[in-house]
Amino acid sequence: MAPDTSSEQLAARMGVELVTLTLDEVVGRMPVAGNRQPYGLLHGGASAVLAETLGSTLSALHAMPERFPVGLELACTHHRSATQGWVTGTARPIHVGRSTSTSEIVIVDDEGRRVCTAKLTCLHRDNRPQVG
């Protein structure tokens, strides 16, 4: 089952684009414009959204359709700011098991400078989460 990418979803509203989808890595990008905090810098929460989107997608590639991943823990370290252009994130697996998976997500700016390093752990549920 493919993820819902309609405009109602947060990643779509923030302009996240998935570029590469493999079991070894998921790459996506997001514009800085529209995702800034009041001082003109990329919002740290926007980096977290990009990281969780990429890490969760990677977990889904490994777990679905038998199991459904949900975020369990996200940790982000913000190294530098971005003020324009795009940021690109690459999620790679650290651990893939039956019940959990952990990914490292590195986000860089257009010059390849590291903006954020994140780690996401997902729980692989037996049942699809209920909506509404």
Catalytic position from the list 25, 52, 73, 104: 52
What are the respective helix, strand and coil percentages of the chain, to the nearest 5?
Answer: 20, 40, 40
Helix or strand holding residue 72 (H, E): strand 68-78
Nearest to 5 by CA among 65, 75, 60, 79: 60
Told to judge if 25 belongs to the known catalytic residues of this protein, a careful annotator would answer no
Residues in the chain: 132
How many Cβ atoms are within 10 Å of 116's Cβ, its own excluded?
24
Look-up of token digits 């590469």: 20
18 Cβ neighbours under 8 A, 6+ residues apart: 26, 27, 28, 54, 57
**Catalytic residue ranges:** 52
